[in-house]
Structure 1
């Protein structure tokens, strides 16, 4: 692949004259409403079960399908960004998201509500890689940390406040308002983007390999579906292991085909750059820890400490706020000092937090839970964006769309794997405890059963966090090949 066929910054756009502020603002608003939506529905699921008259195993598809669609769509975004302009991609994404939100808001039953969620997810899956790729193109490497930090604020803060906002809304309004209140923000983002967002990418229009897209869809879809289903049905369910096996086979075929093609859908030659490869592995491991902890802590708060969904959302809010504040600070520090000063101490803090999580029991105070959660998210904020920026900085500009697509795809997959793995460990731990319980129907023993399961899961989380720490020791500051500046096309 050469520069002629795959540049990233167009020769006809003078990036020095582009107003970065309005572009970043448009991206942030869009990202906020899309990512907020991933956790906004969690607290509403019990209400929806009653109102729509469906089982919990059915209603969970409102969350699973969202993650599944994003996991399937993101790998294709690398090639889409070479066919459509930045404006076209982002505006299409936000219009899809708006349409999905509107469908969900007026849905008379479960089926149309699920359609709305799938359309929303199509918008989110298109937007996240475009957002990251745009920042890589419009900011030089020495300024990217701060910009990525702002994105980190949104990416971490939005899902953290989702449960709290939804708890507030559900206390006084129907579940439909979870969608109705998002609509004005989506419209605002579309207007801002239409006015200020400029195209910053080259349209090379490479040949689209339909077979690769089919392999990617079955591969990533099968793996995400299988692991998502495992949390509910257990690992011995044929639907679970066959989905993972079929998905795994198609992923191997997809990888083999990408290495054979001249213009691959997802250019795996990004893995030739050692720091990008290291960061990809590190982020895969750390995202497993993050997603699964975010699932486990509310289960512990509601199952062992008997909190309401709203109160458990409030307990998680301070950590989300601290993480949101820390993300841009980490970005600025990254620009000044490089990744090691942040990533290694950050991973050490995550290890400490996971150890503290294993000490939770049925009498732990709310203050202690809030403290441990804040500690964990401070560590995560020191790792996430600095590591991601370090890995992407080493790539030449023509690989930016592929690098961002790879990272976003693997984060979805690792989230699904981590959540399913931890929920199954927790469920088995709880079942084992209840089997040996003298009075399995007493509230105290039910709480102790949840604690036993959660502690098992967090011990595994601690092992994964230690692995992440060891990987993080090898991280180094990077730059584009042969000192290539951001925005200059070419690959050697």
Structure 2
């Protein structure tokens, strides 16, 4: 009986963190269908309004880089409390925002919350779940994160048409309320902490600068030229970050993990899948509203069936990983991912609501199969002491590429040739990426056999 209660408590702790993490992802995608309304309310362009998403994702990314340190220094429960506080404050500020600047500030605070909650959920899985069930529970964690984007657009579209875009933020306050209710007695209060850890502020600021400057460089491509000053500053900051980190005795991100071939060869595809997912998540609802002239509710619903099915299958993929390993799942998933992108690329200018639902379903099933398998395999291949660092690197990389995906997608969508042509170009880009992923999986599989 005592053991059962202990296991149940661990499961509820994971659920409490998962609810908050899912809420952060849900509020991000819920706003995608509000872009036409926000451009009118604040009198800004589509490329400007996409900063509602990009600023959020950058905040998530930068926060994730310090999640490993914060967990080691302050413990799981304090990190969880901070994440809930950030979600509540950010949602209230964004809901009452009198200007676009205040809306962005609220989004940044929500991003900080999600940047703490998502790594915390996976850290709890890695530390509380028995090894022989890691794949299944990582699948469950990925399912929660995967379901949130599918619910977000439908949820946002329904509220925009009924109560207005501000209601999205107020109604989502139920998320931290549920997280607090479940987690207050279950999140480990006495996890191991190290008060003597010395944080590497230099490495942190260099990486944060590189991430932000990198996104600004991509964002300014809309003008038709490259901002070489920002590009050079990004490269310099990234180079200095690597140099300082490799020689630092202080704690930040353990980038020595990139010396593990299996980790690196799986990390790259995982973050590229996030690039593709967030990019299409931005373009497809806007395509349906602007080209097909669907309602915001219907446009948001178009992503729901595919993402819902893909997310529900994620625990199954995790269970298969526990039984057969990663190689077959990685290739099978990427085949479906590539075929869906090829179909959407060929039909881009003639897509309808139904063809988008069908092809996006195939896209999501394939992406989810390879994405969740790749993330689990990458973390299992590093030592337990380094898993929180590996988790932080994977999560931060995902969010940076998500920000890049929305930025690049918005640039393609703003093409002078029209949204349909721009979306077709973006889909061809993703198809080429899918072919590169096959190469990395092949190299990883070959190394695993040695």
Give the TM-score normalised by structure 1. Answer: 0.84
CA distance in 1, matches of 2:423, 2:241: 36
Partner residue, 1:221: 212
Deviation at 1:174, TM superposition (A): 2.1
The reply on whether 1:284 has 2:271 as its aligned counterpart is yes
Q: Give the superposed CA RMSD.
A: 2.5
The Cα shift of 1:65 comes to 1.4
Quick check: 2:30–2:156 contact (8 Å CA) kept in 1? Answer: yes
Q: How does 1:10-49 map to 2 (within 5 A)?
A: 17=6, 19-49=9-39
Residue 97 (structure 1) aligned to one of 62, 87, 104: 87
Contact 2:136-2:315 within 8 A present in 1 as well: yes
Give the 3 Å change call, closer, same or farther, for CA 23–299 of structure 1 in structure 2. Answer: same
Residues 347-400 of structure 1: CA deviation (Å, up to 9, x unaligned): 111111111111224444432221111111110111111110101001112111
Provide the residue aligned with 2:427 in structure 1: 458
Residue in 1 aligned with 2:223?
Answer: 234
Structure 1 counterpart SS, 2:303: helix
> Which residue number corresponds to residue 359 of structure 2?
372
The residue that corresponds to 1:260 in the other structure is 247
1:146 aligns with 2:136: yes
Shift of 1:418: 3.3
Listed one character per residue, the Cα deviations across residues 406-437 of structure 1 (whole Å, up to 9, x for unaligned) are 11111122223333334444544x53xxxxxx
Specify which structure has the higher proportion of helix: 2
In the alignment, is residue 389 of structure 1 matched against residue 376 of structure 2? yes
**Distance (whole Å) between structure 2 residues aligned to residue 101 and residue 427 of structure 1:** 29
| Cα deviations by residue, 1:111-142 (Å, 9 ceiling, x for unpaired) | 33222222111111122212212211112332
Give the conservation status (yes or no) of the 8 Å contact 1:360–1:451: no
Q: Following TM superposition, by how much is the alpha carbon of 1:290 offset from its aligned partner in structure 2, in angstroms?
A: 2.2
Q: State whether residues 423 and 457 of structure 1, in contact with CA within 8 Å, keep that contact through their aligned partners in structure 2.
A: no
Deviation of residue 228 (structure 1)?
3.8
Deviations 1:44-75 (A, max 9, x none): 23323333455555443322211121222211
Contact 2:209 2:237 in 1 (8 A): yes
Q: Is the contact made by 2:285 and 2:302 (CA closer than 8 Å) also made in structure 1?
A: no
- Give SS of 2:194's match: coil
**Alpha-carbon distance in 1 for matches of 2:45, 2:131:** 50
Q: Post-superposition shift, 1:37?
A: 0.9
Equivalent residue for 1:173, pick from 155, 158, 163: 163
CA distance in 2, matches of 1:100, 1:284: 26
Is the CA contact 1:304–1:362 (under 8 Å) kept in the aligned structure 2? no
Kept after mapping to 2: 8 A contact 1:135/1:147: yes
In structure 2, distance between residues paired with 1:417 and 1:263: 29
| Contact residue 49 and residue 55 of structure 1 kept, 8 A | yes
Partners of 1:420 and 1:308 lie apart in 2 by: 24
After TM superposition, the structure 1 = structure 2 runs for residues 28-427 of structure 1, keeping only pairs within 5 Å, are: 28-54=18-44, 56=46, 58-199=48-189, 201-205=191-195, 206-230=197-221, 233-236=222-225, 238=227, 241-425=228-412, 427=414
Q: 1:293 to 1:60 in 2, by over 3 A?
A: closer
Larger Rg over CA atoms: 1
| Distance 1:427-1:170 versus aligned 2 partners, 3 A rule | closer
SS of residue matched to 2:199: coil
- Mapped contact 2:10–2:128 kept (Cα < 8 A): yes
8 Å contact from structure 2 (residues 344, 359) kept in 1:
yes
Separation (CA, whole Å) in 1 of partners of 2:190 and 2:214 = 34
For structure 1, the 5+ residue unaligned runs are 1-13, 432-448, 480-492
Q: Distance in 2 between matches of 1:30 and 1:365?
A: 34
Query: Counterparts of 1:127 and 1:303 in 2: how far apart (Å)?
Result: 35
Residues 21 and 462 of structure 1: CA distance in aligned 2, closer, same or farther (over 3 Å): same
CA shift in 2, pair 1:79/1:287, >3 Å:
same
Structure 2: which 5+ runs fail to align? none
Q: How many positions carry a matched residue from both structures?
A: 444
What CA distance in whole angstroms lies between the structure 1 residues aligned with 2:185 and 2:230?
A: 44
Paired position in structure 2 for 1:434:
none
